[in-house]
Amino acid sequence: MRRATIGLVGLVATIAFAAPAQASRLVTLVTHSKYVNPSKVEFNGQPGLRVNVLLPDGYRAKRRYPVLYLLHGHGDSYSSWMDSKDGDVAHVAKGFPGIIVMPEGDRGWYTNWWSGGARSPGWERYHLDELIPLIERKFSIRRGRRWHAIAGLSMGGEGAIFYASQRPGYFGSAASFSGVLSIQRPEWPTGFDTQGENHVDVYGDPDAQRFYWTGHNPTALVQNLRLTRLFVAVGDGVPAPGDPISPTGVLGEAELRQQAQDFVDAAESAGDNVTYDPRQGIHEWRYWRQHLTDALHWGFFHRVTERTREWSYETVAQHSAAWGFRFDFVRAPGVVETLRQSGSLLSGSGAGTVRIRAPNGARFTRKLPFNTLIPQHVRRRHERGGGHRRHKG
């Protein structure tokens, strides 16, 4: 396998060419971010935000492909899913018809850290507002939420379900393998801190910043996922013959089994489309490879609702998007904000002032709480032709 390095606008890309020419190709991107400091993210002693992109057999830029974002767990890196000793995704997903994107998440919990209110580092903003648009520009991605999926293990399982809840109009399917899905269980902050990070740094104080915990808790966000296909796989903490002796693998998976049950119960109560696969096993890669295999058989790209005028969306993000709407709060929310559409009516509950861009291009500002008819988009003079450039916003 030979490697070549090419320069791109805004990024450096290292491309690994596999033989023969029709085989899958691995592309490694080194990206930049306004929200995460690359110098504080290291892999093999080299700082940088790297992303592995596995292109399907016979990839051609003129053809559009489905995309699966595959998130790693705590203590792993962007390379873990590709590592033959860990995820071995090139073998597990051999023949997969889409593009697999495996980004760096470091130990960031796929969260804009509370950090005393600074909300930094901003892993959500990096992945959702920088990385996804970059991937869409760089590679030929099919349009439509049916063709956009996300999955992850452990910390990445939380990230996959959380990101799907924050971009319900983009991701049609989401899967969690041994995911952290119920972060407001009373025992979880103590377990969280044993992994090296302080839960107060990431999510704030569980009481004083309860809204921030709720706004990042997959179990509390199931209403956002009403039209998303969900797959949840988890072990029970009982090792099988040949499994390594690992107290963390045993106790950790037993805890995550309870969290998975919390999430599935809430999702089913909300009417979500969830497939649940509980089984024997511990917190180890051999189980996650099997979970991915099972999820591939479940199917990431089945038909889903593409557009809806009836939805509810909860967020604590200052900048977010749902179902073609863009929401930009003037100040970072201090409560869980709820936005809803019912036909031509848009409503919001919570607090603060939000700037809104509707799918029809209309832009307007409202102070929460509000109920308003969605304005019609008024074409500006330069949009009507007459030698002026058309506005693309």
Nearest partner of 221 among 188, 181, 280, judged by Cα: 181
Residue 10 — very low, low, confident or very high, per pLDDT cuts 50/70/90?
very low
Tens-place pLDDT, residues 65-104:
999 999 999 999 999 999 999 999 999 999 999 999 999 9
Determine the Cα–Cα distance for residues 50 and 60; give it in Å rounded to an integer.
23
Contacts of 111 (CB under 8 A, 6+ apart): 123, 124, 162, 202, 203, 216
Give the model confidence (pLDDT) of 199-242 as tens digits.
Answer: 999 999 999 999 999 999 999 999 999 999 999 999 999 999 99
The pairing of strands 363-367 and 353-357 is: antiparallel
CA distances from 20 to 1, 14, 55, 357 (A): 10, 19, 14, 47
Q: Is the pLDDT of residue 383 over 50?
A: no
User: Rounded mean pLDDT of the chain?
Assistant: 91
pLDDT band at 6 (very low <50, low <70, confident <90, very high): very low
pLDDT band at 377 (very low <50, low <70, confident <90, very high): confident
CA distance 271 to 133: 31
Phi, psi dihedral angles at 159 (to 5 degrees): -60, -40
Summarize pLDDT for 44-73 with one digit per residue, the tens: 566 789 999 999 999 999 999 999 999 999
Chain mean position to CA 230: 13
Dist CA 48 CA 106 (whole Å): 10
> How would you list the strands of the sheet with 49-55, edge to edge?
2-8, 11-17, 25-31, 49-55, 99-103, 67-71, 148-153, 173-177, 229-234, 273-278
Label residue 387 left, alpha or beta by phi (over 0 means left) and psi (-120 to 50 means alpha).
left
| Start-to-end CA span in the chain (Å) | 43
* Domains, the chain, ordered by start: 2-298 (3.40.50.1820), 310-381 (no CATH)
Instruction: Decide if pLDDT at 160 tops 80.
Output: yes
Which residues is 177 bridged to in the sheet? 153, 233
